[in-house]
Amino acid sequence: MAKRIAIIGAGPAGMAAAYFAAEGGAEVDLYDKNPVIGKKYVYVPWEGCELTHEGNTEDFMENYARGAEFLTYSLDKFTSKDAVKLLKKLGVKVTTNEDGVIIPTNGDTQELKKAFEEKLQELNVNLCVSSKVQEILADGRKITGIKVHNKEVKYDKVIIATGGAARPKLGASDDGYEFAKEFGHSITKPLPAISEVETNEKLGKFLSGLEVSSVAVSVYRNKHKHLERNGKILFTDHGLMGDAILFLSGIISRLSENNKVEISIDFVPLKSKEMIDRDLVAKSSLNSSHLVGDILKEYLDPRLLPVMTRFYRIQETKPMSHITNLERKSLVLFLKDFRVTVKRVKPFFAAFYTSGGVDVEEINPKTMESKLVKGLYFCGEVLDVDGGPGGYNMHSAFATGYTAGKAVSRGAKTKKAKKKSSASKKAAKKSDKGDQQEAEEVDDQSSIKVA
């Protein structure tokens, strides 16, 4: 018999796991409590519908703030090229934007959902929508099935692909974490990630809507530097966004619990403090009429100048030759280490992703199977893997779904092939006997004719 697989959660990871498990010869039932598959993915307003990203495994690993080592095997086995091949098999046309992000050509999230749905039905995957799994069943430390609609259903293996806690209005919940805990798994506290960071400083009045490219962003907890990221930042009404901030937001969520967390922005990452200090001294001595604002415009967007005045009490109309040494040091600090204090990371209702989840130390990275329970697998956002914007989280959902789907179906196709081969041999023997009998009948007829 083919292996019977239950997959709980029909998001990107669950759909990918179902595809590869069914392709491998397993009988797959894909469960989701929502009335449609892929609901969260379709209705979250993903900017540009990011599916994956260009680059090799090393490039990808640099874009996971947590869980990069755990993902290495899956990223090696399921690369961005493999993701593109899968999407083409599904009939989804993709293109690569200027940032290397791979997106649907028409930018439609519905297209991916429909393509998966059609392909899964072709592979005879049973789509069990509006079906909330109540319990995962086990005999000791071995999975035996699930309980759904108050009925117990037997399965050889179960994959948990329930996603994270972000966007609860679209069905996100702690179901997967609760299932995992029931079998002794550790859960790293789920916190919002890929979300706006609100700051105590009210900068929106001056800077809302301003995007600044090529800055270096550092995160400090209690004056100790934890992580740095280069990229873009976007000033909002209440704080900061942009790819550098979104990448760090999950880490900021974790660090800011009961701690003072500051974000440092280096507007001129290609020059050191010493270099800028020398530049300012030289420019102030060359022309006494140079104004502070005119000189700083060479380093940053002029819309930032009112913030300098507010924070450092230096007027942009002041001649550079009139500033004191202390004021010059303040200008260097503004350019190289402008600090804001974190108020909070916007919670799950606004977050696009979850930082935290099932502890990956308890999962086999080559199969996604639990190290604690035989036949129990995990994939996607339910795991403690924290990727940045640009298609990396979507790719890790596909990649871990690939690994889990391949693992649960291992041997299923072989059994089918053996069964088919055995049937073919029986048919061949029957055919040989029939041919022999037919030949004997022909011989008899021939001898009668001769006689």
- DSSP 8-class letter at 363: B
Whole-number Å distance between alpha carbons of 188 and 386? 12
Phi, psi of 209 (to 5 degrees): 95, -10
Residue 446 has pLDDT above 50, yes or no: no
Fold (topology level) of 4-192+348-408? FAD/NAD(P)-binding domain (3.50.50)
What phi-psi label fits residue 259: left (phi over 0), alpha (psi between -120 and 50 degrees) or beta?
A: beta
Share of the chain above pLDDT 90, in %: 78
Q: State pLDDT tens for residues 201-216.
A: 989 989 999 999 999 9
**pLDDT at residue 46, rounded to an integer:** 53
Whether the model clears a pTM of 0.75, i.e. scores above it, the answer is yes
Q: Report the candidate in 76, 20, 83 with the shortest Cα–Cα distance to residue 54.
A: 83
**Delimiting residues of CATH 3.50.50.60 domain(s) in the chain:** 4-192+348-408
Whole-number Å distance between alpha carbons of 58 and 63? 9
Q: State pLDDT tens for residues 108-152.
A: 777 888 999 999 999 999 999 999 999 999 999 999 999 999 999
Q: What is the mean pLDDT of residues 171-192?
A: 96
Residue 27: other Cβ atoms inside 10 A: 19
- Higher pLDDT pick, 413 / 142: 142
DSSP-assigned states of every residue in 129-167:
-S--EEEEEEETTEEEEEEETTEEEE-SEEEE----SS-
Q: What is the chain's length?
A: 451
Tokens of 230: 């280069």
As a whole number, the mean pLDDT across the chain is 89
Q: What is the mean pLDDT of residues 207-235?
A: 95
- Higher pLDDT pick, 272 / 2: 272
**pLDDT at residue 438, rounded to an integer:** 40
Q: Report the candidate in 289, 267, 287, 286 with the shortest Cα–Cα distance to residue 276.
A: 267
What is the identity of the amino acid at 118?
E
What phi-psi label fits residue 77: left (phi over 0), alpha (psi between -120 and 50 degrees) or beta?
A: alpha
- Do the Cβ atoms of 86 and 398 come closer than 8 Å? yes
DSSP SS3 for 225: strand
DSSP SS3 for 88: helix
DSSP-assigned states of every residue in 229-289:
EEEEEEE-SSEEESHHHHHHHHHHHHHTTTS-EEEEEES-TTS-HHHHHHHHHHHHHH-TT
